[in-house]
């Protein structure tokens, strides 16, 4: 930030005096007056003000392209398996990324037909882009059920997949969500979702922070499931312990 130095303007005042001449004598010769030195300058005390930090530069997100790598990839109205299907896309469909959901499992995209919706992030190829750089977009008209998974030491556990199921059988309402690096999963559900849902562990990714290089884990991979009553339960975070 550039500063402007102060400008010091010095103005001199001139005084004139008029003398009346005497008729019988010539006026005395004027005496030269000695110059008056300026008053001494007082030293300026050092400033005690804290330096102002420069304002952070806002980073403008530039949308980038990705592509589906499988057939029959679904474009949905919101980030979750229980939301309306907007389109079915084939392998290699180019998509423009506009944002991502909390947790990063879903991407807000625009299709070549200018249709906007959400796609499961693991079904697209990033093509050299970092998907985590996309801004987080909170979907409208959705309930969010969150869960937090920690190990015996209280550290977050990533890569743990949970299923949210209502009822029993093979054709019951269900959605899934996986914990991120902070150990939290975000399950997005339609706003009219209600009733009792069972939330339980289903799988763990080889990329989880508790898995070794051979994708093995010596502990018991079964955090205990819990019931959640919706829509009230969407306002809290469920806690799970990895023993």
Each residue of 23-48: pLDDT tens digit?
334 444 433 444 445 555 555 555 55
From the number of C-beta atoms within 10 Å of its C-beta (0-12, 13-18, 19+), residue 214 rates as: exposed
Q: Domains plus CATH for the chain?
A: 64-133 (2.30.30.40), 143-242 (2.60.40.10)
Determine which helix (DSSP H) or strand (DSSP E) holds 189, and give its type and residue range: strand 184-189
Give the pLDDT confidence score for residue 56 in this predicted structure: 61
Residues in the chain predicted with pLDDT less than 70, given as ranges, are 1-58
* Alpha carbons within 13 A on the beta-carbon side of 106: 26
Give the pLDDT confidence score for residue 167 in this predicted structure: 94
Q: Which residues contact 1 (CB under 8 A, 6 or more apart)?
A: 52, 54
Give the pLDDT confidence score for residue 220 in this predicted structure: 73
The rounded radius of gyration (Å) of the Cα atoms in the chain is 37
Residues 165-205 have pLDDT tens digits of 999 988 999 999 999 999 999 999 999 999 999 999 999 99
Q: Which residues of 223-241 are buried (b: 16+ CB within 10 A; e: fewer)?
A: bebeebebeebbeeebebe
* The pair of three-digit structure tokens given for residue 243, joined into one six-digit string: 């023993």
Give the pLDDT confidence score for residue 58 in this predicted structure: 61
* The pair of three-digit structure tokens given for residue 63, joined into one six-digit string: 């949308």
* The pair of three-digit structure tokens given for residue 72, joined into one six-digit string: 């029959």
Give the pLDDT confidence score for residue 222 in this predicted structure: 83
Concatenated DSSP letters of 68-135: E-SSSEEEESSSSTTSPEEEEE-TT-EEEEEEE-TTSSEEEEE-TTS-EEEEEGGGEE-TT--GGGSP
Give the pLDDT confidence score for residue 37 in this predicted structure: 53
Query: pTM of this prediction?
Result: 0.74
The span from the CA of 108 to the CA of 26, in Å, is 103
Coil/strand/helix, residue 232: helix
- Please give the C-alpha separations between residue 125 and each of 4, 64, 93, 225, in angstroms, as whole numbers: 52, 12, 10, 33
């Amino acid at each position: 930030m550039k500063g402007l130095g102060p400008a010091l303007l010095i103005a001199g005042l001139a005084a004139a005096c008029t003398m009346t001449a005497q008729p019988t004598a010539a006026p005395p010769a004027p005496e030269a007056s000695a110059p008056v030195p300026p008053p001494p300058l007082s030293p300026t005390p050092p400033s005690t003000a804290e330096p102002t930090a420069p304002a952070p530069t806002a980073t403008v997100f530039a949308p980038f392209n990705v592509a589906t790598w499988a057939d029959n990839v679904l474009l949905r109205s919101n980030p979750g398996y229980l939301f309306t299907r907007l389109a079915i896309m084939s392998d290699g469909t180019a998509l423009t990324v506009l944002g991502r959901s909390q947790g990063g499992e879903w991407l807000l995209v625009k299709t070549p037909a200018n249709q906007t919706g959400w796609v499961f992030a693991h079904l697209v190829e990033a093509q050299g882009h970092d998907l985590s750089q996309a801004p987080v977009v909170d979907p409208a008209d959705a309930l969010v059920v969150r869960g937090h998974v920690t190990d015996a030491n209280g550290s977050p556990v990533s890569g743990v997949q949970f299923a949210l199921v209502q009822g029993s059988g093979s054709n019951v309402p269900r959605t899934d969500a996986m914990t991120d690096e902070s150990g939290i999963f975000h399950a997005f559900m339609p706003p009219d979702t209600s009733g009792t849902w069972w939330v339980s562990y289903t799988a763990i990714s080889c990329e989880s922070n508790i898995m070794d290089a051979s994708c093995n884990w010596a502990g018991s991979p079964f955090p205990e499931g819990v019931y959640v009553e919706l829509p009230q339960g969407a306002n809290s975070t469920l806690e799970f312990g990895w023993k």
